[in-house]
Amino acid sequence: MTKVPYEPEELVKLALKAKESAYVPYSGFHVGAALVGDDDNIYTGCNIENSSYGATICAERTAVVKAVSNGARKIKAIAVASDHEISTIPCGICLQVLSEFCQRDTLVYLSNHKGEYKACTFEEVFPYSFKLNNDI
């Protein structure tokens, strides 16, 4: 947990650094995430695989769990990075979890392995999520 004024490039760098801690003996696919909570702390996460594949947790959800368990309730921005040459997009489960804490205009930085990223709003990445009070 680091309290710093965030810049997109810094958040992407932290996501790239977080992926170095990934525990991925099965896929070998390293993913890192870094988010800014409404407490202005930065939380990072990596993917952690399990031999019971369904018990695997993605980097984005690891970062969300760390943020929320420390008291954060909103995500101001999030960066995701992986080993891929193309930008990494969160999986469906992570998008649904992120939708609980992101606003439509929350910035999402989707990075490749070099730190080259696309900036999107959360709504662009995930326009419709499950909500108990959906009104589309």
Residue carrying structure tokens 């326009």: 127
Question: Is the Cβ of residue 34 or residue 58 nearer to Zn ion in the bound state?
Answer: 58
HSE at residue 88, side-chain half, CA atoms within 13 A, is 28
> How many positions of this chain bind Zn ion (CB under 5 A)?
3
46-75 residues near Zn ion, rule: CB under 5 A: 58
- Asked whether position 12 contacts Zn ion by CB under 5 A, the answer is no
- The span from the CA of 134 to the CA of 136, in Å, is 6
Catalytic residue among 10, 49, 60, 123: 60
The single-letter code of the amino acid at 18 is A
Q: How far is the CB of 19 from Zn ion (least distance, A)?
A: 13
Contact flags string 81-110 toward Zn ion, x per CB under 5 A? ----------x--x----------------
Question: Is the Cβ of residue 41 or residue 88 nearer to Zn ion in the bound state?
Answer: 88
Known catalytic residue at 124: no
Q: What distances in angstroms separate CA 127 from CA 11, 28, 105, 124, one per listed residue?
A: 23, 30, 11, 6
Question: Is the Cβ of residue 67 or residue 94 nearer to Zn ion in the bound state?
Answer: 94
**H helices of the chain, where?**
8-18, 59-69, 92-99, 122-125
DSSP state of 21: G
Q: Which residues bind to Zn ion, rule: CB under 5 A?
A: 58, 91, 94
- Catalytic residue numbers read 60
